[in-house]
Chain A
Amino acid sequence: MAVVAGLGPRLDRERFQWSSLAMLTPALALLGLLFVFPVLYAGYLGFTNLALVGARSRDYSFTGLDNVVRMLGDYVFVKSAWLTLIFVVGSAIVGQSVLGMALALLLRNAVVPIRLIVGSIVIVAWVLPEITVALVWYAFSQAGGTLSILLRHSDTNFLVVVPMLIVSLANLWRNVAFSMLVFSAGLRNLPTEVLEAAEVEGASVWRRYRQVILPLLKPTILTNLLLVTILNLSEFTLIYAMTQGGPGIETMTLPLYVYQEAFVFHQLGYGTAISLVLVLIGAVFSLLFVRAARSQA
């Protein structure tokens, strides 16, 4: 288009057009006010003693590394960070990736009706609102619920006995469709000649998978790991609606602890500082995956 925009100077190079700025402005304005500014503001609030109510809600000040020192001595924070790692590694990185890959591979080789039905059910679980998933898993894991009857312990409330395991399973149940779709698309895009060649050469199923499919899928796997980590790290609704972080603090992952400190204990400054740690953890994971992707490219 730049070519016909005018018969003035050079026509062989694209130039900046003011109309592009006009089209970008509304999005930039909204993102500036309610995204960029809050991010920068969070970077400041995390180092203050701002409170939700009382004197500190108006008269707060910069307190340097006080919040960081407080965190290191706060056993709830340490436990919370540990639970977050268990949740992300167990439910997301291992659970969703392995089950997602298994589903993608199995569905490829299943008969059509089973493929359609099972594939749709897994996707419906993903599309359901989180609050619904929280409710059905709450029901599933209660004493007298379906799980307890299946395991023949009908007076055991599994959400109290093994709370972290249940919320991780519920989260796996809800989110595995994402990895399944990513891997299915990755498998569809593999060059068929290579797969056929391996089959003709008589490689076993396992060997074909280990030595042909897996290496070819490596970029897809790394992208999936990155996205799944980022998406699950900030999981709040599902866990909060099922347990509110309890019993005790047994499922108090960092997003729940941020909410509790900020809006239940009214410590907005300290809560924000904890959320910055969450961002830091996300950044470390992202860096690891991007590095792994670069090194093999």
Chain B
Amino acid sequence: MTTTPPGLNEVLQRTFSFPKRHFLSVTDLNEVEVANLLDLADGFVSLNRQTAKKLDLLKGRTLMNLFFENSTRTQSSFELAGKRLGADVVNMSPRSSAMSKGETLIDTAVTLNAMQPDLLVIRHASSGAASLLSQKVTCSVVNAGDGQHEHPTQALLDALSMRRAFGRIAGLSVAICGDVLHSRVARSNIALLQMLGAEVRLVGPPTLIPSQADRWNVAIHHDMREGIKGCDVVMMLRLQLERMDGVMAPSQREYFRFFGLDREKLAFAAPHVRVMHPGPMNRGVEIDSDVADDLSVSLIQDQVEMGVAARMAVLTSLAARLDNDR
């Protein structure tokens, strides 16, 4: 038998208000909903640290992971989250499905929907794919990353990691560094952190900062030392290697020299600074191993742990609103 940790028990007994059928975008959420999700996730962290981790909150429910883009981390995080809550979990990957035979996203979704899943987790290379899917299915849809648009559960787990490290999010100053242009993680984080009262800065070469990002109420820096000066959190983003070869930046070594995080640059941040990275990391390209592996500074391992808990909170909240007879 699993014993529910006291903290979790207390949160579960609160009456939650999460009046959403889908979890698609941070911009769909409000502050109260986020606070509730973070409290719930916090409880799940304690549960996940026990030997007996399994609950029956999602018993009888079916969770489908539909990942059109490769992902080890996010997919297994959702899989574990579902299983620990008692759901049946199915992983679909497009290479073994009909998508490679020319079936459209909608057709695949409608087909899978007919198998009566309760929760559909989707990752897709096109912005808006999760929203499109949600309009065509009867189950709940969770966006696990749509193109360059949003990755809302990542923002939630990042917020959880920060809240646990600092005890608060309001008033923190967070520098998001690197390839903001192509990053759905950055877009979700900017929206969520600003909602929770953090100050956000963007740091990167002009080629990797989205057009008119200055209208997002963020400070933009092209000098990393300047950009991370005095900040509480440095959030590094992954830069795909092929974009560094004269495309968005002249070379890997030039990129690391100016925008890679090492001890020397990190010294410009606040003394208590914590470093984050959504993974997978390019060591020696955007982040020095020396920084990434220093557990007194790095929250990177915590982020992975918080990922399972945050996703359990999202799945639980959505499932609470699912009908038993559809």
Q: Are A and B physically bound partners?
A: no
Chain B residues engaging chain A, CB cutoff 8 angstroms: none
Chain A residues engaging chain B, CB cutoff 8 angstroms: none
